[in-house]
Amino acid sequence: MKQINLEVFRNVCERCGLEFESLGQSDDYGPIIYSNGLGSTRFLDPLVDPTWPEVSAIVDTLIASSSTRASDSQKASLFHSALTRTVDPPEMGAFVSWEYPPCPGCGSNSRSFFGPFEPPRFQDVELEEVTHNRWNRLSLKQKIEEAAKAIADRNNSDSNGY
Ligand SMILES: [Zn+2]
């Protein structure tokens, strides 16, 4: 367990209108928070987790070898999709990156509002670190296939293409 100071964000669900809070990090180099929206939350520390540079290298290689161009923000988004797949799933549901916690009311990922409170609110939370047991058992070839799948899924769900 580690104590982490997180910012509280305000969310309004686009589908059912429920207003709910999510916790996140505004610092790019801070811990990444994963939640299943059902009370299970864990963190990944980019500075110490070896999966971070590993997935970063795999995704960079995949993007470089594809014929399409990606902007920095698209690359970051594809990287986070691939990284999320390396995390062992919670007992219920699935972990998603803190940026898109599903609505606790209806499970939707779309929201009509997402942003910090004014004035900003912070909260100390005790979190367990994520594990990558399943990912660590994969061969390099399987890891590359997983990352490629994450990128393909992301591209399919992204109406803007990439
Ligand atoms: Zn909802």
Q: Confirm whether 162 is domain-assigned.
A: no
The whole-chain average pLDDT of the chain stands at 87
CA of 24 to the centre of ligand 1 (A): 19
CA of 70 to the centre of ligand 1 (A): 31
Helix (H) or strand (E) holding 74: helix 72-84
CA of 19 to the centre of ligand 1 (A): 8
Under 8 Å CB-to-CB from 97, ≥6 apart: which residues? 32, 33, 34, 80, 83, 84
CA of 7 to the centre of ligand 1 (A): 21
Give the SS3 label for residue 69: coil
CB of 13 closer than 8 Å to CB of 112: yes
Q: What is the pLDDT of residue 159?
A: 44
Q: How many residues does the chain have?
A: 162
**Residue in this structure with the two tokens 């910090």, named with its chain if needed:** 116
**Residue in this structure with the two tokens 């670190």, named with its chain if needed:** 129
pLDDT digits (tens, 9 = 90+) for 10-19: 999 999 999 9
CB of 50 closer than 8 Å to CB of 40: no
Q: Please give the residue that has the higher pLDDT: either 68 or 136.
A: 136
Q: Please give the residue that has the higher pLDDT: either 159 or 150.
A: 150
CA of 148 to the centre of ligand 1 (A): 30
Q: Please give the residue that has the higher pLDDT: either 20 or 27.
A: 20
Q: What is the pLDDT of residue 137?
A: 98
Q: What is the pLDDT of residue 119?
A: 95
| Domain count within the chain | 1
pLDDT digits (tens, 9 = 90+) for 105-114: 998 888 999 9
Report d(CA 106, CA 75) in Å as an integer.
29
- Global pTM value: 0.76
Q: What is the pLDDT of residue 100?
A: 63
Ion ligand 1 neighbours (CB, 5 A) are 13, 15-16, 18, 103, 105-106, 108
Q: Confirm whether 114 is domain-assigned.
A: yes
Q: Is the pLDDT of residue 99 over 70?
A: no
Q: Is the pLDDT of residue 85 over 80?
A: yes
pLDDT digits (tens, 9 = 90+) for 114-155: 999 999 999 998 999 999 999 999 999 999 999 999 988 877
User: Which domain range does residue 25 map to?
Assistant: 2-157
Report d(CA 23, CA 41) in Å as an integer.
10
